[in-house]
Amino acid sequence: MKVLDIVIEENIKIAEDIYLLSFKNKYIAENYKPGNFVNIKIQDNSIYPLLRRPFSISYIQDDVVYIGYQVIGVGTELLAKKKKGYILNIIGPLGNNFEIPQNIKSVSLIGGGMGIWPLYGLARQLSQNKVMFDVYLGFRNKEKSFFIEKFKDIAENIYISSDDGSIGFKGNIIELFTSNKKNYEIIYSCGPKVMLRTLKDLNLNNQIYVSLEEKMACGIGACLGCSIKGENDNIFHVCSDGPVFNIMEVNLNESKS
């Protein structure tokens, strides 16, 4: 992990309120593993917003690092205005990663909204390792959908849902996953807490790994800002113990978001 000044290569709108930002950085490219994130200081010459903002590294190609984000509040609104050539200070790569066991055969990725970003980097890694996998992508609506074609290029099967039915199955992505009745040895998932909780409540026998999003400040395990409860009333720091956890380890009812 390093503190780095990076130069924005592109920061483009790819769907409603959704942007893809890229920058070239050899250190991040060489040290990245799917699931890692970066903590970005969004304003350079101002103390506001004070706290850095965490974003998953979506994928890396030829030393170019891609990060996708949705405009939510003050930080992401400011980020969306930054143009090619702007220098951002980032810390990364941070956090743990999705482990890919040897000889794994049936895999599914289940992503909801912004949780889809880190799964794309994982999908590329699986594809490189010649592991077949299915992808389930849940969006709010068609206008907020993204990366479908990119996943189609590397996934065995792709299943889409949207809350309003404007694209794919009408309903949430866990409903679509459940109705498919397909069994997988391992499931990797990232998305809103409610989606992950529903996945956990299915009580499946598969190995399930989830990447969690918690409000963060330092991003390096120093401030307790991102603490969540484990199933044994132990405490995890999402930034340094995660963001990827075995779903059985974490208490998704107790966490803050």
* 132 lies in the site for ligand FES, by CB under 6 A: no
* 73 lies in the site for ligand FAD, by CB under 6 A: yes
* Shortest Å distance, C-beta 223 to ligand FAD: 11
Q: Which of 3, 12, 74, 224 binds ligand FAD (CB under 6 A)?
A: 74
Please tell me the distance from the alpha carbon of residue 137 to that of residue 152, in angstroms, as a whole number: 11
Q: Which of ligand FAD, ligand FES, none does 221 bind, CB closer than 5 to 8 A by kind?
A: ligand FES
* 37 lies in the site for ligand FAD, by CB under 6 A: yes
Q: For residue 212, give the nearest of 243, 236, 234 by alpha carbon.
A: 243
What phi and psi, each to the nearest 5 degrees, are found at residue 167?
A: -145, 135
* 186 lies in the site for ligand FES, by CB under 6 A: no
* Shortest Å distance, C-beta 203 to ligand FAD: 26
The two tokens of residue 57 are 């590294």
Nearer to ligand FES, 39 or 161 (CB): 39
**Would you say how long the chain is, in residues?**
257
User: 3-state secondary structure string, 79-139?
Assistant: HHCCCCCCEEEEEEEECCCCCCCCCCCCEEEEEEHHHHHHHHHHHHHHHHCCCCEEEEEEE
Nearer to ligand FAD, 214 or 241 (CB): 214
* 68 lies in the site for ligand FAD, by CB under 6 A: yes
# of chain residues touching ligand FES (CB under 6 A)? 12
Residue 83 half-sphere exposure, CB side, CA atoms within 13 Å?
0
Q: For residue 32, give the nearest of 41, 42, 45, 23 by alpha carbon.
A: 23
The two tokens of residue 29 are 């490219």
Site for ligand FAD in 188-247 (CB under 6 A): 213-216, 243
Q: Which of 171, 192, 221, 230 binds ligand FES (CB under 6 A)?
A: 221
Please tell me the distance from the alpha carbon of residue 95 to that of residue 202, in angstroms, as a whole number: 27
- Work out the burial of residue 161: count CB atoms within 10 Å of its CB; fewer than 13 is exposed, 13-18 middle, 19 or more buried: buried
Q: Which of ligand FES, ligand FAD, none does 202 bind, CB closer than 5 to 8 A by kind?
A: none
* Shortest Å distance, C-beta 69 to ligand FES: 18
Binding site for ligand FAD (CB under 6 A): 37, 49, 51, 53-56, 68-70, 72-76, 114, 117, 213-216, 243
Binding site for ligand FES (CB under 6 A): 216-219, 221-226, 237, 239
